[in-house]
């Protein structure tokens, strides 16, 4: 872990998963979630949607000055439709049932606003789930894990038992593409692993 507790960046997200991923590369953060309107625009593609939200979060968080600010957004996409978080067991069952036995996309955009301006990347991964019967879906819902997860499952948790194939970035599906994030942070002068950028 980093020897310094001084924040390197501002994280415009309340996601504990994004905080944990950044901690894994020893980037200390000041957590400051941004409350922005997340309503998709008419005709907006999923990629444009997550990219816009990531940029808006980073820009809003950076307005107070000081630290470079990272914003990110993730969407589970089925046949071009963005799937949100299930509101109840019935919605979770319908959502996960529609993803079972097939491949869907997970799009995560990350934006970092800092000395180099606004830098953005979007990563699209493809996730294949096995067939899941109704009893399994019900049991999974009772664990509490799907309730706050887009698409109704968590690849980093119990939901991993449903995943048969991943094409792309595991960390992006969790919520933050680390390879691309590290590149953006380095371009903003943010050190990784508590070492200065050369």
**What positions carry a catalytic annotation?**
73
Classify strands 9-11 and 29-31 as parallel, antiparallel or unpaired.
parallel
> Interhelix angle for 178-187 vs 16-24, to 10°?
70
Are the CB atoms for 149 and 85 separated by under 8 Å?
yes
Maximum pairwise Cα distance, the chain = 54
List, in sequence order, every beta strand (DSSP E) within 13-169: 29-31, 69-78, 81-83, 103-114, 117-129, 163-167
């Amino acid at each position: 872990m980093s020897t310094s507790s001084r924040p390197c960046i501002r994280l415009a997200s309340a996601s504990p998963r994004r905080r944990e991923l950044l901690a894994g590369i020893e980037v200390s953060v000041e957590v400051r979630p941004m409350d922005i309107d997340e309503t998709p625009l008419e005709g907006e593609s999923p990629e444009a949607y997550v990219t816009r939200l990531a940029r808006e979060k980073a820009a809003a968080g950076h307005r107070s000055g000081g630290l470079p600010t990272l914003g990110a957004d993730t969407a589970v996409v089925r046949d071009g439709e963005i799937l949100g978080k299930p509101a109840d067991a019935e919605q979770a069952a319908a959502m996960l049932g529609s993803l079972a036995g097939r491949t869907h996309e997970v799009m995560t955009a990350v934006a970092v606003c800092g000395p180099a301006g606004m830098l953005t990347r979007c990563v699209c991964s493809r996730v294949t789930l096995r067939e899941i019967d109704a009893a399994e879906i019900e049991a999974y819902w009772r664990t509490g894990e799907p309730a706050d997860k887009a698409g109704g499952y968590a690849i980093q948790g119990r939901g991993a038992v449903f995943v048969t194939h991943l094409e792309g970035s595991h960390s992006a599906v969790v919520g933050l593409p680390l390879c691309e994030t590290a590149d953006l942070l380095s371009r903003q002068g943010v050190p990784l692993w508590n070492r200065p950028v050369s």
